A and B are shown apart, each in its own frame.
Chain A
Amino acid sequence: DAGVIQSPRHEVTEMGQEVTLRCKPISGHDYLFWYRQTMMRGLELLIYFNNNVPIDDSGMPEDRFSAKMPNASFSTLKIQPSEPRDSAVYFCASTLAGVGYTFGSGTRLTVV
């Protein structure tokens, strides 16, 4: 299995631009999570899905953030418009039955 695949690995964008991060979970996993990691706050849960349905988006910082999971093999996290304070590493993780998360390699986002 290729594991959880995220793209792009690095993204540099200008303030105000739209940014889309992508994630392919492990086949057969029924949960998908989006986390954000910064030095100050560590790993924070943004949103998670169960069987493609969003369950809890209370960690999404603002309306500028949105996430979708159109099918079991693909999810996106979109930031529109982006701001410098959104700069962080964004991780996607998947799991079967909520046990034993597998993380992707992350997307390092820099907003200038």
Chain B
Amino acid sequence: EDQVTQSPEALRLQEGESSSLNCSYTVSGLRGLFWYRQDPGKGPEFLFTLYSAGEEKEKERLKATLTKKESFLHITAPKPEDSATYLCAVQVAGYSTLTFGKGTMLLVSP
């Protein structure tokens, strides 16, 4: 069974304090790993897709990396507006569905 585990469940940072969120996965043939951001009362918003180990993608203060067993979302010098829940999801080769982790709730204080 495909499994996605995110850690920590919640993270509190001071503005400017860099950190990383983890997503570990167990799947039989990875097609892609996805990162989403979800704000309260809204649907998940797409951030990145990673397809192969060693791949990295960046967007503003966020950088996502991928290995054969896990992905990291690095947040550099976060701002309060980065506060949200970050969701990781995997897509298995040959399938169109996404299996999500439970997310990491990030709070950045000024």
Contacts and interface: CB of A to CB of B under 8 A. Distances in A.
A39 B61 CA distance: 27
Contacts of B34: 101
SS class of chain A's interface: helix, strand, loop or mixed? strand
Interface in B13-60: 32, 34, 36, 41-46, 49
A105 B91 CA distance: 22
B103 interface: yes
Contacts of A31: 96
A42 B101 contact: yes
Range of interface residues on B (Cβ < 8 Å):
20 to 34
Interface in A48-76: 48, 50, 55-56
Interface of B: 32, 34, 36, 41-46, 49, 87, 89, 91, 95-103
23 contacts: A42-B102, A43-B44, A43-B87, A45-B97, A45-B98, A48-B96, A50-B96, A55-B96, A91-B43, A93-B43, A95-B96, A98-B96, A100-B46, A100-B49, A101-B98, A103-B36, A103-B43, A103-B44, A103-B45, A105-B42, A106-B41, A106-B42, A106-B43
